[in-house]
Amino acid sequence: MIQLKHVYKTYAQGTHALKNVSFEIERGEFIFLSGPSGAGKTTLFKLLTTYDMPSSGHINVNGYNFSGITLNQVAEFRRKMGIVFQDFKLLKDRNLLENIALPLRVRKEKENYIKMKVEEILERVGLAGKADYLPDMLSGGEQQRVALARAVINNPMILIADEPTGNLDTETTDVIFDLIESLSTKGTTVIVATHDKRVIAERNKRVILLKDGEVTA
Amino acid sequence: MNQKQKYFIHILASAFITFIMCFFMSSWSVISGFQAFFESGQNVELTAFVYEGVPEEKIQNFINTYRKHPEVIAISRQTAEESFKALKAELKIFDFQMKGVDMEQVLPQIITLKLRHLDTRLINELKLNRIVDELLDGRHWLQKNESIIQVLKGASILMAILCLSSLVLSLTLLIKTQVQIEKDEISLRAMHGESLWSLKKSYVIKSLGITLFGTCMGIILSSTAASILQTKVLTQFQIQNLAEQIKPLGPEQAFPFIAVCLLVGGIVGYMQTARFEKDFYLQR
C-alpha cells in the first residue's frame, strides 16, 4: 500500500530533513509515527501528501509512483486521502455542513447525497443536529471531530493525522483515537503522528520512530 | 470572510471598474470628438494678402471662382483701409505716418477663405494662383491644426493605456486580495483533490465577469455622458460643429474594446493564480 525506499529530503540550506527512510505499510494498517520535534515527521507527511517531493529515493502509494507524478494524478490521489491537522483547519465562516461537505463538493457530488452523507457522518462523530453550527461554537474536541468527519466523509484509502490530539485533554484524546481506530477497521490505512506515549502504549499498534530524520525503530 | 462580504467586495470592485471605464471612455469620446473636429478643419481659415496693383476684376474673379469651390464655406474680403483700421485697433499703433510713410497705401487687402477641410490640394492651388501673393496664415493654420491633431491622437492613446492600466491594477488588487483572504479554503480544496485548473478557473471566471460587467457599464455610462455633452452642453453653448463630432462609442469601437478588456482581465486573473501549483500542489 505505502512503500518508501531510501528516501532522502535535503532542503536548499543543506538541512537533511530525512535520511535513508525506508518502510512499508500494509492496507488497513494502523501506524503511529513518533519522534521528538524536528525528527522529520512533518517532512514525511508533506512527502506522503504530495506537497513535496523527495530529493532522492522512491515513494509508492497505492500504485502512485511519486517520482513521476503529474498534477492531475496528485489531485486524483488526494481525493482518495484524508488529512487531519493539529489545528483542525476548519473554515471559521462556514457551518459544519459546509466544512464537512468540502471533499464531496470537490468531487462534485449531488446536493442531496452531500446532505445525507454529512448527517450520517455527524452522527458517527457524535455531533448530530449541529450541522448549522459554526466551528467557533464548538469545543476543541468537537472541532477535531468535525475535522475528522471531513477527512473520512469520502471513505479515504489513507488517513493521515498530524498530532490530531496535540491540544486536547486525555478524555477527548481517547474519544478521537477511538474514532480513528474504528475507521481503520473498515480498510482505511491510518498514519498518525503523535508523541503522546500514553496513547501509543495503550493502543498497541505498530510504531515508526523517527530521530534526526532517520527511522530508528 | 462570509458570503455577504464577498458579494460586497465584488460589487465594490465592479463599481470601481465601471467608474474608471466610464471616466476614461468619456474622456476618450470627448478627445476623439475634438480630434475629429480639428481633422474636419471647419475652423481652418486661410488668409491671402493681395497687394496694391492687382486689378479689381482679377480679385473678383478669384473670389467668384473659390466661392463655388465645394471645400470653401465662406470668403470674406477686407480692404486695405479696413485692415489698417483693424491693425491699428489691435496693435494700438497711432504713428503709422510719423516716419513719412503712408502705411495705409503699403498694407494689402485681405481675403479670408474659410475651408471645410484641410485640403492640401486646394491650398497648393491657392498658392499657385497669381492673385494671391502670400498665404502665410494658411500655412500657419495648417501646421497648427496638425499639431493639435497629433496631441489629440497622443491623448487618445494615453487614455487607452490609462484605461487598461487601471483595469489591470484594480483587477490585480482585487484578485490578489481575494486569493489572500481565501488562502485557507484554496489550500483545503487543493488538499482534498480539487484540480489545479479548477481552482484557477474560479478566479479567471471572476476576473472575466467583473471585467465584462465593468466594461459594459462603463461603455453605457460613457455613451450617456457623451450624448448629454453633445445634446445639452455643446448645443446650448452653440458649439454645433464640435457637438456633431463628439459621438458616443458605437458597436464598431465597443466590441473590440470589450474583447481587449476581456483578454486583459483573463490574463490578470490567470496571472494571480500562477503560484497555486507551488503553494498548494507540488514543490518540485
A102 class by beta-carbon count within 10 Å (0-12 exposed, 13-18 middle, 19+ buried): buried
Closest chain B residue to A76, measured at CA: B193
Written as nine digits, the cell of A124 is 458517527
Predicted confidence at residue B41, as pLDDT, reads: 53
Closest-CA residue in chain B for A95?
B2
Condensed to tens digits (0 to 9), the pLDDT of residues B230-270 reads: 777 666 665 656 666 666 667 777 788 889 889 999 999 99
Q: Which of A180-189, B118-127, B156-165, B174-183 has the lowest mean pLDDT?
A: B118-127
Tell me the sheet residues that pair with A161: A84, A192
Mutate which: B9, B185, B191, vs A, most A CBs within 10 A: B191
Average pLDDT (A126-139) is 90
Are the beta carbons of A79 and B193 separated by less than 8 Å?
Answer: yes
Chain B residues with CB under 8 Å of a chain A CB are 1-2, 184-185, 187-196, 277, 281-284
- With CB atoms and an 8 Å threshold, state whether B188 touches A79: no
| Rounded Cα distance, A174 and A176, in Å | 5
Burial of residue B54, with CB atoms counted within 10 A of its CB: 0-12 exposed, 13-18 middle, 19 or more buried? middle
Q: What percent of chain B has pLDDT over 70?
A: 71
* Mean predicted confidence (pLDDT) in B26-30: 72
What is the least distance, in Å, from the CA of A49 to any CA of chain B?
Answer: 8
High-pLDDT (> 90) share of chain A, % = 33
Q: How far away is chain B from the Cα of A205, in angstroms, using its nearest Cα?
A: 27
End-to-end CA distance of chain B: 32
Contact B189, A98 (CB under 8 A): no
State the residue for C-alpha cell 478643419.
B41
Task: Check whether B79 has a pLDDT greater than 70.
Answer: yes
- For position B252, what pLDDT does the model report? 75
Residue B28 · residue B146 · CB < 8 Å: no
* Amino acid sitting at position B234: L
| pLDDT reading at A159 higher than 80 | yes
Residues A89, B195: C-beta atoms closer than 8 Å: no
Query: Residues 40-99, chain A: which have Cβ within 8 Å of B?
Result: 49-53, 69, 71-72, 74-81, 83, 89, 91, 93
Smallest CA–CA distance from A56 into chain B, residue: B284
Reply yes or no on whether the pLDDT at B95 is more than 60.
no
| pLDDT(B125) > 50 | yes
Q: Give the rounded distance of the alpha carbon of A93 from its chain centre.
A: 23
pLDDT at A35 over 50: yes
For A159, the closest chain B residue by CA position comes to B192
CB contact under 8 A, A78 and B283: no
Q: How confident is the model at residue B98 (pLDDT cuts 50, 70, 90)?
A: very low
3-state SS, residue B95: coil
Report percent pLDDT > 70 for chain A: 99
Specify the pLDDT at position B142. Answer: 57
Q: Which residues of A touch B196 (CB under 8 A)?
A: 71, 75
* pLDDT tens column, A75-112: 999 999 999 888 888 998 899 999 999 999 999 999 99
Query: Stretch B172-190: mean pLDDT, rounded?
Result: 88
- Residue B190: closest C-alpha in chain A: A75
Q: What value does the mean pLDDT of chain B take?
A: 76
Q: Identify the helix (H) or strand (E) that includes residue A122.
A: helix A111-124
Mean pLDDT, range B44-67, rounded to an integer = 80
